[in-house]
Amino acid sequence: MQDHVTPRRVVILGGGFAGLFAARALRQSPVAVTVVDRRAHHLFQPLLYQCASGILSEGQITQPLRRILRRHHNVSCLLAEATDVDVKARVVHARRPEGGVIQLPYDELIVAVGMRQSYFGHDEFAAHAPGMKTLEDALDIRRRIYRAFEMAETAADDRERQQWLTFALVGGGPTGVELAGQIREIAGHTLDREFQKIDSSQARVLLFEGSDAVLGSFGVPLAHRAAGTLQSLGVELHLDTMVTDVDAHGLTVQDHEGTMARFEARTVLWTAGVEAPPIAAALARATGATQDRAGRIEVEPDLTIPGYPEVRVTGDVMSLNRLPGLAEVAMQSGAYAGRTVRHAVEGRKKQPKPFKYWDLGSAAYISRGRAVVKAGPLHLSGAIGWFAWLFIHLAFLTGFRGRLGALLSWSVAFATSSRRERAFTMSDADTPAGPGFGQKTPPPPR
């Protein structure tokens, strides 16, 4: 009788694509849903690089979770970070941003925490080579890109000037390729004739990839076309090359023959590798679940953890049939997990069918009017690929305001090469010691 009085409690960890689609699938269900995320917004991660490069603003790629879910009256949002799970007591332990622990009892748990940047055991690289997984990362990268040109303008000598005008990107996947193309466009078009002492078009963009091709997951034909497009833009490709060290003035790499080389670059960006956040390891310890090398949790075909049918793992942090870490996988797995919970609550006795991913394709934007798209047997590149990329991203952007704003920004950027979102702030690490650059002048001695 009590079950009819008290709704079943569903806790969703993560407000990304998987968590959001899971919550939406439970909208009409007689359950009480709590979405837990360390940030109060949903982020459209595939367009982070456009925020970093100054095409789109933060508001065009984010939406407050509370606004998205405001009509879902059975859903509440909680600003906290999950730190542990007591699977026997069915309680999630979460930490508030300013401290303090919250305990969240659950009847059903959906894990949608995504992945974070991995430095393959060299976390010390992060201080000099930021990744791009969060909005904070994108704004930091924007600051580093545009600051580099400003610093080159006032460099003391040619060597320092060239260091500031050299950009090194580690990782030849979609994010690395997209960022490399954007930086070349910024240097060759956006900042053209804006400086007196430097020629921005002479900026070097170096792309380092450990395998023998960029965009290897797109297949040989598209990877070859993408490489040709990058090289025509002036991007220098270094394939079969591993980064062994990164510091404030550049990076050291080793090629497939074992030859070491040093490249001086004041801006190094890391787009290679991901790993699961700590909560995934905590959940694996609690349940005995198996994790892959990146920390993803291996799940059953219905996305549950073996022995724990009330716990479902979705999105990038799940390991199932070697599915890629794509937004489409997260959306579909999140919606599937939400539906299976809804069916269970509604008393449907039929076993859910195994999760099946429908491949909607992959896309990478390289430069104005040039992109590559792979959707099953369909391979598109150049202008046709760019229009397909445009349609795909407009379709999945959350909210009418986001779609309209992005379309207007893309129209301006494509027609004029200008970027409206070039503002950046300086951090404490960028300012010299002593007065100046916004620091207060110390009072005179008495």
Tokens of 60: 């065009």
Per-residue buried b or exposed e for 150-161, using 16+ beta carbons within 10 Å of the residue's own CB? ebbbebeeeebb
**Contact status, residue 340 vs residue 312, Cβ threshold 8 Å:** yes
Task: Report the DSSP pairing between strands 8-13 and 31-37.
Answer: parallel
| Helix 382-396 with 400-416: angle, nearest 10 deg | 150
Residue by residue, pLDDT tens for the chain (446 residues) are: 344 557 899 999 999 999 999 999 999 899 999 999 999 999 999 889 999 999 888 988 899 999 999 999 999 999 999 999 999 999 999 999 988 999 999 999 999 999 999 999 999 999 999 999 999 999 999 999 999 999 999 999 999 999 999 999 999 999 999 999 999 999 999 998 899 999 999 999 999 999 999 999 899 999 999 999 999 999 999 999 999 999 999 999 999 999 999 999 999 999 999 999 999 999 999 999 999 999 999 999 999 999 999 999 999 999 999 999 989 999 999 999 999 999 999 888 778 899 999 988 888 888 888 889 988 788 888 888 878 877 777 666 655 455 666 667 766 666 667 788 888 888 766 655 444 444 444 444 44
Active site residues: 178
Q: Taking the model in full, what pTM does it have?
A: 0.89
From its phi and psi, is residue 424 left (phi > 0), alpha (psi between -120 and 50) or beta?
A: beta
Rounded CA gap, 213 and 217, in Å?
9
Block residue for tokens 């003391």: 156
Task: Report the DSSP pairing between strands 41-43 and 62-64.
Answer: antiparallel
Nearest to 28 by CA among 343, 302, 313, 351: 343
Tokens of 302: 């219905």
